[in-house]
Structure 1
């Protein structure tokens, strides 16, 4: 427990040193004076073209007054970089929109504003209940079998579900209950990870009911839970901005089940709405804080095993032990001389310093946890890495 508090204290000191008075905005070295928004752009991409710190976009964006949704940016909009009262501002050129016509492009493309981040990476997580407040999901209807002699089911396959008594609901989600999510510091139960498996449509109610799989992320297995599907909803408008000052947390899990986390992976954080988190909050990710073996002190880096004698303790115990004396009263208190040497393992460890390793943005918030997408990764990230607001 003391070592945990020691690591947390080191992390707090490191972040305190990183923090300080808010410096002036720094433009990117190659920031353009004008930029035409392209289809496929995201707000994060555009902010990175103009700023060294994209999460400070709201400090430079000058929304055009007098129009609906002034913060929305569309393909074809011309953005201008200007100076107002000695500080940089970015604004939409009044009355200017560049439209390039192509027979392959549908007209609806130009009507849709650019997203904050790439929706394709997070779309399944916007409506699916990936975190449950309790393990009540285990009491839901479940897949009990398949019409054909299948072990699993895929798209267009039928499944039997126990039980769906009526045809009132037509659209369903197939989910797989996962492990409980606990705060790594307090061990508080934050929720249960629920893995999205597939969408299905009702073909016949009953016990068992018959459903057909229409879309899937993974193959449907016996025991998967089935619940009514939520209606599709669009990603709410938000601007990238730093997370609340002083708020720190950890990465609890990664949704695709890998151990090494990279760009555009979706992660679960141990902070949520009760901690003041909102969609759009940006965190920096820090690696470090783990105990690492000191290879020099433990003898790994300077072992001379070819010269070690079988009569030496190093030959049998290695270099991570040192002689501390003789054990008294062994094998018994009646012995006139202790026969057994006492060896103790050296503390050949050190705590790895914290290093900035990436950035993430929160896009969906629950009460006690939230989802974030990794926007940048300068090194491999892992479950358990620390997160903190970016130092402006």
Structure 2
């Protein structure tokens, strides 16, 4: 079992995504959110900077990691800067300094003033221009696709039944025939392909199927079958692909990072980018979802351990002469050996009898203790599973690693 890890009290944080239109950006800590009692005093990292200049490309998580071992507790040490238009905004060029109030560390913008490089362009402070908590490029392809659906949803969805001229596949600009779509011409649809089945790591219970994004199509004529034209593709469409009404991609407006409790313990059951060894900024699937009260912004610790290892120190006793023992010594014959079976028809100079005992020194195995190997933050959640981004990894992570409350 994982060692008991007490959950931290959530401290409201709101973080928004960066604009894709320019490099000028800001980190947003939304004002007006109350600070609740902490689960314990916050201690800065021993190697924290006394002064840090915010750079373009920073995220709030990366800045917080310079000061705290638990970056989601940034609100505990951030001090708003009165006298400026947006006291919770952090911009590139700002100099962050550490002060102490009542013995507790605080981080704020030096002097409450901002260092601004003059450039021949307008500086925007819109929310959409703010630096996000995490690198958006790492999760962008997974924000609205793929989806997770159960067997009934897949069976009930309209599906590609064929193409003109009896071709085997279709691409951009091609026509596809789809069973049972009755909607207004011009409506947009997404083409999805059922893929791997997600299973609960411990029970093997089905949790849903990954439905990978294949492309988009526009309805030309409704009916059974309906006629659609493919407008966008990531791979060619085939009979059996499912369709669903297209949804507008949702911008990342807010994350509320908070540690999960031990009640949300689960496992990494898949990785979405096809790697075998999981590292920082890889996207993983966790066998817990909204049915288990897992929400966007939940922070998990990823743990390694629990496997059985051989005690190699005791195993050396299999080598009868490691202590310079001799067959003439009583311990050699009456020591801690154990009978493992009988050998038959193994005639040799050392085994003159066709049947003799096989024995070896006793060795002990041990179970590796669980230890924190990384952290993951949920950015998309379904009823039975969630997608999470690996925020940090002290070692290579693997499918099957347990997840639970992160260490404080």
Place the TM-score, normalised by the shorter chain, in its bin: 0.7 to 0.9
Q: Once the two structures are superposed, what CA deviation does each residue of 1:132-163 show, in whole Å capped at 9, x if it has no partner? A: 25531232122334558865455x34251413
Q: Which residue matches 2:303?
A: 286
Could you tell me how far 1:244 is from its partner in structure 2? 2.5
Matches of 1:262 and 1:63, distance apart in 2: 34
Q: Which residue matches 2:274?
A: 257
Could you tell me how far 1:322 is from its partner in structure 2? 1.7
SS at match of 2:153: helix
Task: Work out whether residues 186 and 220 of structure 2, in 8 Å CA contact, stay in contact via their aligned partners in 1.
Answer: no
Matches of 1:221 and 1:29, distance apart in 2: 55
Q: Residues 234 and 295 from structure 1, CA distance in 2 versus in 1: closer, same or farther, beyond 3 angstroms?
A: same
Which one of the candidate residues 165, 172, 176 is aligned to 1:160?
Answer: 176
Matched, 1:370 2:386: yes
Superposed CA RMSD in Å reads 4.2
Which one of the candidate residues 375, 379, 382 is aligned to 2:395?
Answer: 379
Q: Which residue matches 2:258?
A: 241
Which one of the candidate residues 210, 223, 247 is aligned to 2:228?
Answer: 210
Q: Which residue matches 1:35?
A: 53
Q: Residues 249 and 200 from structure 1, CA distance in 2 versus in 1: closer, same or farther, beyond 3 angstroms?
A: same
SS at match of 1:358: strand
Could you tell me how far 1:251 is from its partner in structure 2? 0.9
SS at match of 1:253: strand
Task: Work out whether residues 261 and 381 of structure 1, in 8 Å CA contact, stay in contact via their aligned partners in 2.
Answer: yes
Matched, 1:26 2:44: yes
Could you tell me how far 1:28 is from its partner in structure 2? 5.2
Q: Residues 280 and 298 from structure 1, CA distance in 2 versus in 1: closer, same or farther, beyond 3 angstroms?
A: same
Q: Once the two structures are superposed, what CA deviation does each residue of 1:248-283 show, in whole Å capped at 9, x if it has no partner? A: 221121112333222211111122234333322222
Q: Residues 322 and 208 from structure 1, CA distance in 2 versus in 1: closer, same or farther, beyond 3 angstroms?
A: same
Matches of 1:188 and 1:391, distance apart in 2: 29
Q: Residues 225 and 83 from structure 1, CA distance in 2 versus in 1: closer, same or farther, beyond 3 angstroms?
A: same
Instruction: Give the structure-1-normalised TM-score.
Output: 0.72
Q: Residues 160 and 15 from structure 1, CA distance in 2 versus in 1: closer, same or farther, beyond 3 angstroms?
A: same
Q: Residues 210 and 18 from structure 1, CA distance in 2 versus in 1: closer, same or farther, beyond 3 angstroms?
A: closer
Task: Work out whether residues 31 and 51 of structure 1, in 8 Å CA contact, stay in contact via their aligned partners in 2.
Answer: no
Q: Once the two structures are superposed, what CA deviation does each residue of 1:158-197 show, in whole Å capped at 9, x if it has no partner? A: 2514133433562222212234333223444433332233
Matches of 2:137 and 2:175, distance apart in 1: 28
Matches of 2:277 and 2:299, distance apart in 1: 21
Matches of 1:221 and 1:380, distance apart in 2: 36
Number of aligned residue pairs: 350
SS at match of 1:141: coil
Could you tell me how far 1:242 is from its partner in structure 2? 2.2
Task: Work out whether residues 293 and 349 of structure 1, in 8 Å CA contact, stay in contact via their aligned partners in 2.
Answer: yes
Matches of 1:321 and 1:174, distance apart in 2: 63
Task: Work out whether residues 272 and 369 of structure 1, in 8 Å CA contact, stay in contact via their aligned partners in 2.
Answer: yes
Matched, 1:184 2:201: yes
Q: Residues 152 and 93 from structure 1, CA distance in 2 versus in 1: closer, same or farther, beyond 3 angstroms?
A: farther
Task: Work out whether residues 204 and 211 of structure 1, in 8 Å CA contact, stay in contact via their aligned partners in 2.
Answer: no
Could you tell me how far 1:101 is from its partner in structure 2? 4.9
Matches of 2:197 and 2:388, distance apart in 1: 18
Structure 2 spans left out of the alignment, 5+ residues? 9-38, 322-337, 345-353
Task: Work out whether residues 267 and 373 of structure 1, in 8 Å CA contact, stay in contact via their aligned partners in 2.
Answer: yes
SS at match of 2:273: coil
Structure 1 spans left out of the alignment, 5+ residues? 1-10, 305-319, 327-338
Q: Which residue matches 2:287?
A: 270
Q: Which residue matches 1:114?
A: 131
Q: Which has the higher contact order (CA 8 A, sep 6+)?
A: 2
Matches of 1:303 and 1:148, distance apart in 2: 76
Which one of the candidate residues 46, 52, 58 is aligned to 2:75?
Answer: 58
Matched, 1:354 2:384: no
Instruction: Give the structure-2-normalised TM-score.
Output: 0.70
Matches of 1:171 and 1:107, distance apart in 2: 36
Q: Where in structure 2 are the equivalents of 1:327-346 lying within 5 Å?
A: none
